[in-house]
Amino acid sequence: MRTHLINAWYGVVDYAAYPVIMLLTAPILIRHLGVSGYGIFAFGMSIANTGGIIASGFGDANTQKISVARAAHDIPVIRATIQCTLGIHLAVGIAISALGVALAPWLSSKVTSAQPWNRYTCTDVVVISSLLVLTRTLETVAVSTQRAFQSYGNALTISAIVRVLTLVFAAALSTRRSSLQNIFLTMISLSFAGTLLQLFRLGRRTSLVCLIPSFHAPQIRSLLAFGGFTWLQALGGVIFSQADRLLIGLWMGSAALTAYSLAAQVAQPIVGITAAAMHFMFPYLAHQAAQRGVLAVVRPAKRAFWASLGLIAIQSVPLILFGNRILAAWIGRTELALSTLLLPLLVIASAFAALSVTGNYALLALGRARVSSWVILGSSSLMLTVARPLISKWGTEGMAIARMAAGLAMLLVYLPLWKQLQDRRDCVISVIASSPPIQGVLD
């Protein structure tokens, strides 16, 4: 239990470090970059986060495969899985980075339509953010492997430190009137150094040979069979967590994006902290299912659900009651035109999505990535479908309502989980009932 709590703590620190420091540095960045400049900054960060998550969609597959291989003490499979995951992430990361660079002029023209003088700056920011995707993609291989070994501290400490430093340096450079281009170049340099350190420590834990990208056919097929659906899940998750900011930037401009992104930054940690705190259950449940069978996950999954519910309530209730006052006092409501309902709506949407975390991890641990992925992707597609008409009618609040609909739909993930566990329980009962009595027990 102590190990699980330590892993949960590292997961929370790694995730919380970014949004907390982002909020702490927001007044400094807004003051020195301006509202529109901060909107461009937020748009660039959203591109880096979106591309990084999409390109790293095979990280959970890597964690699941290595967790199962650890249960069988299969070292060759562990090494081959790491090499193939590295190869896949490298190829996908390069493709997504190239796409971002190619689309940079068009994206910039949309975001800065009301401030055309910022177009070239925005284009450079989008290009650098697209290149940042590649470093984050490679880092995920190291982090997901350490998670499979249920050793979160080794990788997540570095990740948290790098995230904090990038934002601290960004704020410090803005006070010195540095351009957005220089700020993002500094951020990508820090991210690159952190990724190299992560990979070096991974090589020391396993073998430096694991750092050579490879495409072994059996492992590639195994990763694609499971990872293809975790990639779809990552795509759905990034649509829910990041695409809203991209859509607001493209449809409403950088000034509106500044207000929305700050409110979303306050609400988003509800999902992220819950997912980070409970992530240790994913490799643990996969390990238990491999060793003891599917029904072994029932009790720990129930405990994880109630623990996540308590964690969500602790985060959500204060934000609904006092979030607007805190944000207005910290940033300033008048300057950013923050609406009264925007933050509560985003908090409720994030709470719904966070409540689905345990169900998703349990399905992934049982190898049911397909079902979990379709639920998340379908929910995110629902958000995209209703976003445009809702934004046209209610502005940023419409986007929050679309997120609420998607978060509520994500709770459907518990239906296939309940069905699988119920079918397995019925199967076990049927086998016991049909077994002949043991001679001697009834005599």
Cα end-to-end span (Å), the chain: 43
What is the per-residue pLDDT for 269? 83
Q: What percent of the chain has pLDDT over 90?
A: 27
What is the DSSP code string of 243-277? IHHHHHHHHH-HHHHHHHHHHHHHHTHHHHHHHHH
- Residue 345, classified by CB atoms within 10 Å of its CB into exposed (0-12), middle (13-18) or buried (19+), is buried
**Distance between CA 306 and CA 355 in Å, rounded?**
10
CA 214 and chain centroid, separation: 25
pLDDT over threshold 70, residue 59: yes
pLDDT over threshold 60, residue 111: yes
**Distance between CA 103 and CA 47 in Å, rounded?**
11
> Mean pLDDT lowest for which of 79-93, 116-130, 355-369, 419-433?
419-433
Q: What is the dihedral of CA 28, 31, 34, 37, to 10 degrees?
A: -10
Is residue 105 within 8 A of residue 166, CB to CB? The reply is no
Residue scoring higher pLDDT (147 or 244): 244
pLDDT over threshold 80, residue 219: no
Q: CA dist 257 to 30, 32, 37, 47, 329, Å?
A: 12, 17, 11, 13, 19
What is the per-residue pLDDT for 208? 75
**Distance between CA 405 and CA 94 in Å, rounded?**
33
What is the per-residue pLDDT for 430? 42
Q: Which of 366, 370, 367, 379 is nearest to 412 (CA)?
A: 379
Residue whose entry in the numeric block shows the structure tokens 């996950």: 297
Residue scoring higher pLDDT (12 or 19): 19
Helix 2-55 to helix 254-267 angle (10° resolution) is: 160
**Arithmetic mean of pLDDT over the chain:** 82
CA neighbours closer than 13 Å in the CB half-sphere of residue 366 = 24
Residue whose entry in the numeric block shows the structure tokens 């994030």: 350
Can you point out the beta strands (E) in 368-422?
Answer: none
pLDDT over threshold 70, residue 56: yes
> Mean pLDDT lowest for which of 15-19, 145-149, 351-355?
15-19
Q: Which of 186, 184, 248 is nearest to 39 (CA)?
A: 248
pLDDT over threshold 90, residue 172: yes
pLDDT band for position 214 (50/70/90)?
Answer: confident
pLDDT band for position 431 (50/70/90)?
Answer: very low
pLDDT digits (tens, 9 = 90+) for 387-419: 999 999 998 899 999 999 999 999 999 998 888
pLDDT over threshold 80, residue 426: no
Q: Which of 183, 190, 188 is nearest to 162 (CA)?
A: 190
216-230, 299-313, 366-380 — most confident range: 299-313
pLDDT over threshold 90, residue 282: no
Residue whose entry in the numeric block shows the structure tokens 């069905």: 419
Which helix (H) or strand (E) segment is 301 a member of? helix 298-330
pLDDT over threshold 90, residue 205: no
**Distance between CA 131 and CA 124 in Å, rounded?**
11
Q: What percent of the chain has pLDDT over 70?
A: 88
What is the per-residue pLDDT for 22? 83
pLDDT digits (tens, 9 = 90+) for 270-279: 988 888 778 7
7-11, 174-178, 256-260, 422-426 — most confident range: 174-178
What is the per-residue pLDDT for 8? 60
**Distance between CA 217 and CA 219 in Å, rounded?**
6
**Distance between CA 260 and CA 338 in Å, rounded?**
8
Is residue 223 within 8 A of residue 61, CB to CB? The reply is yes
Residue scoring higher pLDDT (442 or 134): 134
- Domain range list for the chain: 2-428
Q: Which of 84, 89, 185 is nearest to 137 (CA)?
A: 89
What is the per-residue pLDDT for 435? 41
